[in-house]
Every structure is written in structure tokens, then in C-alpha cells.
Copies of this chain bind each other. A is one copy, B any other.
Amino acid sequence: MSYVLVVKIGGSILSDHEVYGKIADKLSSLDADRVVVVTSALRNVTNELLAGMERRDQITEIVSSIYDRHLNVLSKIADGVNFERAFQQLSKLSDELFRVAWSVKVLDEITPRVRDYVLSFGERMSVVLLDAALRTYGLITSGLPEPVMVTDENFGEANVIEFDTSVKLRELIGKSDSKVLVVPGFIGVSPSGKLTTVGRGGSDYTATLVGRFLGAEEVRLVTEVPGIMTGDPKRFPGAKTISRLSLEEALELALLGVKRFHPRTFEPMFQTNLRVRVENLTEPGCTIVEGTCSDYGIKGVAIIDDAKVLSVESTRMAGKVGSAAAIMSEAKDAQVNLISFSQPASETTIQLLVNSDSSTKLRERLRTMEGKLIKAVHETDASAVSVVGCGLRSREMFKRVLEVSSGYDVLSVSRGLNRVSVTFVVERSQGEQLAKELHRVVVSG
């Protein structure tokens, strides 16, 4: 098979017309037989569509302005026949979107199916622009503004049907002669033809899936920043780009890092030789994700600030089969995600870390159990500080990290996949300081 590259163009860099030249340059420079470009919607478009679905009385204005913006970009990146062609495609999509938006406004109701349908326009219109730009810059390109993933109809969080997707991808690549194929990320289509989405951050996941199914050498996730960073540069002054991550580290950082990936982004790498490179268009650095743990570094620090610990206390839970299930089921029924949780061996307390937003509704539910399984529920502002790195598997390095934490009033410590991450839950007043101190270790480590 030929040498295939997959390049995902993140929405955050699709902010204006100027970026298209850089993208064209980057793609031209790639030494590959085939390049599949997976594109996100233009910057902010997904958010604007979501906002429109909330404020339905303004949705037509919102989609109008989205169309204007695409047209404006198009007029600057394409001309002649390429402009014509893209203009027609864009108008067609825009008409469809406008009709949908208008309908949503009239009916004043959004179903999960319609939500996904509306969102799909962001990626589909983006494909048209990128395709036109690349053609104008002289690349031999095919643009396909339709989904490449086949999924079930679990709208909003659709599951990829792997076999069908793999067949579909191979057919697509077989039909086209162009070196470059531009396709939308994030969106899928069900066997009965309904448009779906795979969840926020889904374009990266689309790219790695495409990479896997086409047997690509490398997937490049082109984004705003020159790679995955050791920490949030706004909070940690010395934060820098991580040059290399193992698969385990990447899986742990997917949800914890400054840039949040779809949780399944790196999953297609399992049992393949696929290499993922996170980079931007201009800066020299990048992060390579490849292989399993082989070094002993520590790679990054993350902090979740806006959280609360609910401490559930009782002597009646001790030794009682099912008490954890009873507590966790309350969280489930309250539709509250548990960021972190822990229970000591005395079984007198269960600590649940949740977003500040959802804390009250869970606390209220748990309080109805007081006097039965539960004695009392306490709530404390808290932060979760996480460190990621294969180095945490070495006694030496883990010792350093634990020693740093020993200066803080740690509420719990939990370790992630293959021990390549560790989360410290502390009172919120200590969170930032602990994170910064740990980050210093990382950077200097």
C-alpha cells in the first residue's frame, strides 16, 4: 500500500482567510502518496450554531452571519472556476442550513437528531472552503463535504460502526485520483442516512480513526499550539511543548491537558504503528505521540479548579456490600459526572469530586438518604491537580512528586492508566500553588 498521511486541521486555526495559504504550504511540503485532510468547522462556528439552537429566535440571523463569514473567506482564498464551484456548493449548503434554522425557529424545538444535523453544517462548509483554497493554491484535491464515518444513531455521542466505516473509507480513497482528499471531521452518518456527531473534539478522533483504517503512517493534528503543553501557559509561566508522549500518557492527557481531546482520540493507535503528531502551522515545535512508555519523564500538569468535594459519611456503609453502588447510583440519577472519588479502608467516608455546577443537585439527593445509609454529607471547595508521565512509574520520580504534595493537605491521591498519571485532590485554596510547584518539577525534571 502507498504511503498515507492524515492531517487534521483544527477549527481554532481556521480563524480567517490568511491561514489557508499556510495550510496549502504545509500540505504541499508533505512527502506522501495520499493525504487525507480532516477538517473542523471554522473557529467558533460550532459554538455559534449551538448558541443559535438555544436562542432560537435569533438562529436565522446567526446562520446568516455564519454564511457571510464563509463567503467572505471564500472571496479571499479562491477565484475563477474554484470560486464559482465553491460558491455554488456553499450556497447550496447555506440554503439547506437556512431552511433548517428557520424551521427550528418556527417550531421552537430541538431534537437530538436536528441538533446533530445543524452542527454538521460547520464541518461541511469548512470542507468546501478548504478544498477551494487548496485548489487555488494549485494542489490536486478532492473535497467531500459528506461524513466519512458510519455510526449508530446515538445522536450527540454516536458510536462508530468500525467495519462499515473502514469499507466506506477504502471505497472513497479508491474512487479518487487526487493526492489530497478533504473530508469533514466530527460528523457521521447512520446506515439509514441520518447525520450524527461523535462528541466534542471529534475531529481529532475522526483523524486517528481514518489513519487507522487507511493504514496511515502518521496522523497530524494541526492546531493552534505547537503541541501538547506541560501545562496551561497562562497559569504556569515556564510551560512548554512536550516533544514526545507515549500512548498511555496521551490517553491520560486527553482529558487533562490544556487542549482537551475527545476521550477516544488516541484509542485507534492501540495495536498499530500509527504515530500522531500534534503541531501548529508556524512554530517549530511539535508533540509526537508514539509507542508505549519507554522513558522516565514527567510530561504535564493539569488542574481542575472549579470543583467541590462531597464527603459522604456513615458507620453504616462499613462492610456493607452495595453501599458504594447506592451512592454512585444517586450521582447517575442526578446526571452528575464524577471527576474523581475515593474511599479509605475504614469505609466510613466516600469522597466524590464533582463540578461546582452539579454539586448542589447531587448533595440534595444524597441528603435524602441521611438517617438511612448516610450519616451526613459535607461539601468543600476543591481542586484536582494531576500529573502525567511515564516517569511516575519509577519509584524515584514518584517519590519526588509525592514529596511535593506532602506540603499540602491532600484529600486523596489516585493513579491512572498503567500508573502514568496521578491526581491529587486538595482544598481549592491550595490547588493552584500545588499545581505550580509540581509543574516546576516537571519542567526541570
Q: Which residues of A contact B (CB under 8 A)?
A: 99-100, 102-107, 109, 111, 113-114, 117, 251-256, 263-264, 266-267, 302, 304, 313, 315-316, 318-322, 324-325, 327-329, 331-332, 335-349, 351, 353, 384, 386, 388, 395, 398-400, 402-403, 405-417, 419, 421-423
Contacts and interface: CB of A to CB of B under 8 A. Distances in A.
A370 to B, nearest CB: 13
5 contacts: A322-B332, A340-B344, A342-B343, A395-B408, A413-B414
A342 B414 contact: yes
B347 A315 contact: no
A146 B392 CA distance: 59
A255 B346 contact: yes
Contact of A345 (B328, B340, B409): B340
Looking at A316, A335, A338, A407, the one whose CB has the most chain B CB atoms below 10 A away is A338
A423 B106 contact: no
Given A341-B341, A402-B403, 8 more contacts: A103-B106, A252-B348, A263-B318, A321-B335, A344-B415, A398-B409, A403-B406, A406-B406
Contact of A423 (B335, B344, B406, B410): B344
B341 A324 contact: yes
Contacts of A423: 344-346
B315 A337 contact: no
Q: State the oligomeric state as a number of copies.
A: 4
Contact of A319 (B263, B341, B417): B263
B403 A255 contact: no
Contacts of A384: 345
Contact of A107 (B104, B266, B407): B104
Nearest to A98: B106
A92 to B, nearest CB: 14
A331 B413 CA distance: 22
Contacts of A117: 107
A250 to B, nearest CB: 11
A255 B319 contact: yes
A109 B111 contact: yes
A365 to B, nearest CB: 13
Looking at A99, A409, A413, the one whose CB has the most chain B CB atoms below 10 A away is A413
A336 B318 contact: no
B346 A252 contact: yes
Contact of A109 (B105, B106, B113): B113
Nearest to A200: B319
Contacts of A419: 409, 411
Contacts of A107: 100, 103-104, 107, 114, 117
Looking at A109, A253, A421, the one whose CB has the most chain B CB atoms below 10 A away is A109
Contact of A412 (B313, B338, B405, B414): B414
A252 B318 CA distance: 10
B324 A338 contact: yes
B338 A416 contact: no
Contacts of A351: 414-415
Given A406-B406, A412-B413, A114 B109 contact: yes
B346 A386 contact: yes
B256 A346 contact: yes
Contacts of A321: 331-332, 335-337
